[in-house]
Every structure is written in structure tokens, then in C-alpha cells.
Amino acid sequence: MSASGLTGLLGKLQRGGSEAAKFGVVGAVGWVVDTAVFNLCLHFAHLQSVRSGLISNTVVIGTNYIGNRYWTYRDRAKSGRSREAVSFVIFSGVGMVIQNGALALSHYGFGYTSTMADNVAKNVVGLALGAAFRFWAYRTWVFRGQAQDDVSFSAEERVPESASFGTTRASNT
């Protein structure tokens, strides 16, 4: 591997780690909103567990879109916002099914009906499974296109290795 190839690989890993960290922060803010709305629906509106979970997830989809679009993936292409928003809602919906599926399985399938069991099933187990899916889906399908830093690096990657390490030309001396 050439020196520029190694530098590029390290840069991509660093950007991926930074992206994952930002996704995690947006997710943490979303988790606070999600947990608060879920428990308000459950205890003050006296709604059923899964209905409360669906309402809280719906509220947090908007919060997370704003955080991910304008912070986590701000350097990604911004064309096709309609496609991006629709894709975000669709993949968030799949994540919602995963997260609330864990809640439904725990509550109705296994009979764990306490508030603590509902919160653990939805906000720990379901959230972990749903977040892993969402991270993959958002970076693969929603916020597509290379980051601006990746574009400049990609041109550098195309330089043949022989050009990087200076092959000598025959001279007429």
C-alpha cells in the first residue's frame, strides 16, 4: 500500500469514527426526547405501551432528522432533499418497528409488563438494535454521496503508485 493509500485509509477511519460519534450524540438527544414522550404517554395519558412507543418514536424522527442532516452528515451532498427526507422517514419507520418489536415481544410475548421492563425492552434492547440498523441505513441510503473531504482524497487515490514514488525518465544528456 502506498503512503497516500495509508493516509487515505486512516482519514476514512477517522471520518467514520467522527460520524459515528456525532450519530451517537444525536441519538442520545433523541433518546432523552423519546424516553420523556414515552413515559408521558404511558403515565399521564394512560396509553398502552406499544402505542406510547410509536408516538414517542414519531416525535423523535423529526428531532433526529434535523440533528443528522445539519450536524452528523452536514458535509454530504444536499441535493434531492425530498428523496432524502422520504428515505429518512422510511428507514426510521423500519427502526421504529425494530425498537417497538422488542417492546411488544417483552410486554406481550414474555409477559414483562412493569414500567421498568417496558423501558428496558424499548429504550435499551430495542434502541440498540434499531440504532445499529439506522446508522447503517442513513449512511448507506439516506445521506448518500461522498463527504466533501472524501472527494478531494478520491482524486489523490487515482494517482498511480509509480507517479507517487517518482519513476525516473530517461533524459537526453
Q: Which tens digits make up the pLDDT trace of 106-138?
A: 999 999 999 999 999 998 999 999 999 999 999
Give the Cα separation of 54 and 76 in Å (integer).
29
Asked, for residue 38, whether it belongs to a domain, the answer is: yes
Asked, for residue 54, whether it belongs to a domain, the answer is: yes
Cell matching residue 8: 487515505
Instruction: Look up the pTM and report it.
Output: 0.69
Asked, for residue 88, whether it belongs to a domain, the answer is: yes
How many structural domains are present in the chain?
1
Q: For the ranges 4-8, 109-113, 132-136, 149-153, which has the lowest average pLDDT?
A: 149-153
Q: Which residues constitute the domain of residue 152?
A: 3-160
Asked, for residue 11, whether it belongs to a domain, the answer is: yes
Asked, for residue 167, whether it belongs to a domain, the answer is: no
Asked, for residue 170, whether it belongs to a domain, the answer is: no
Asked, for residue 107, whether it belongs to a domain, the answer is: yes
Asked, for residue 166, whether it belongs to a domain, the answer is: no
